[in-house]
Amino acid sequence: MTSGGPPRPSRVDADGARPLPVAPVQPPVRTLAGVSDTRRPSTVRLLFASSHPGPTVTVTVLAAVIAVAVGHPVWLVALVALAVVAGQLSIGLANDWIDADRDRAVGRSDKPVARGLISVRAVRAAAFATAGAAVLLSIALGPVAAVAHVVLVAAGWAYDAGLKRTVWSVVPFVVAFGLLPVVAVAAGGSQDAAWPAWWAIATGAVFGIAIHCTNVLPDLLDDEATGVRGFPHRLGLRGAGTLAFGALVVAAALVLGGQLGGDDPARGGAVVLAVVGALVVVVLAAVGIRLVFAGRPTRALFRLVIASSLVLVVELGVAGARLVA
């Protein structure tokens, strides 16, 4: 009887004379995009993965759709999108740079910095560079939109820098999402630029609550282990989850009311779309509540909110001129 573990697998050589050792097969490297590849991801790809691409793309699309809905020319819509995506990239990159040690401590394999694939220095430099680009692009949008967007980005950075650990962690999301319609509607105007309707601002602010709570819920245990106790953490899974999806229903109601009320209410097919959109969001919220009370704080909760945001984006696009106060 031999010792030292099981024998190494072998195969017979071409002449059948003696066995040859079989070299162990190395598992393929799994990239951040979930694709098997033996190549190291590029720096650009790693930076993009560090920028929280899902929320970044969602917020940018939302801003662009609002800009289209209010009748801005193509060049101005593109400028709004560029300014917003630069700001969102900076917020996401700052988050991964500032939280690098915490993410390593809890083993966040979805974070390039935590995995050692890119340096903290590179992510920090990219965060400042995109923040600078966001400010410059914002200036080109006009004074009202510029101030609104700079405050929006500053709110995101304030969250990254420390507010996320306090009971006030929800405030940056309320401020940022509430200001997003202002950026999109007031773009291209002077000091007396148009402002969005009150219900559009309220919708953004309420939606920010849903985004914040559902984004945090899957990380409650990791955050607790590293001393992060923001607003959702203090409410707990069921409290924060109920608030998040309740806020989602309120946002849908605000959009529906904004389209059906006022001096120029929606008519015909737009009414049907508005009602159907609101019902879809309510159904998605009900699914989210069920998952919350089943004790499943997964990323599916956040995806439900993102899906709801896409429905609301379509409704806002149909709202058109009603978005303007």
For residue range 156-207, list pLDDT tens digits in order.
999 999 898 899 999 999 999 999 999 999 998 766 667 888 888 999 999 8
Distance between CA atoms of residues 11 and 15, nearest Å: 11
The more confidently predicted of residues 240 and 5 is: 240
Q: Which of 204, 209, 138 is nearest to 170 (CA)?
A: 209
Q: What are phi and psi of 131, to 5 degrees?
A: -65, -45
Name the residue type at position 110: D
Name the residue type at position 271: V
Binning pLDDT at 50, 70 and 90, where does residue 29 land?
very low
3-state SS string for 190-254: CCCCCCECHHHHHHHHHHHHHHHHHHHHHHHHHHHHCCCCCHHHHHHHHHHHHHHHHHHHHHHHH
Write down the pTM of the prediction: 0.80
**23: number of CA atoms within 13 Å, CB side?**
3
CA dihedral over 172, 178, 179, 184, signed as positive or negative: positive
Helix (H, G, I), strand (E, B) or coil at 267: coil
Distance between CA atoms of residues 37 and 24, nearest Å: 18
pLDDT in tens, 249-282: 999 899 888 888 766 777 777 778 888 888 999 9
| Maximum separation of any 2 CA atoms in the chain, in Å | 92
Distance between CA atoms of residues 31 and 228, nearest Å: 29
The more confidently predicted of residues 195 and 88 is: 88
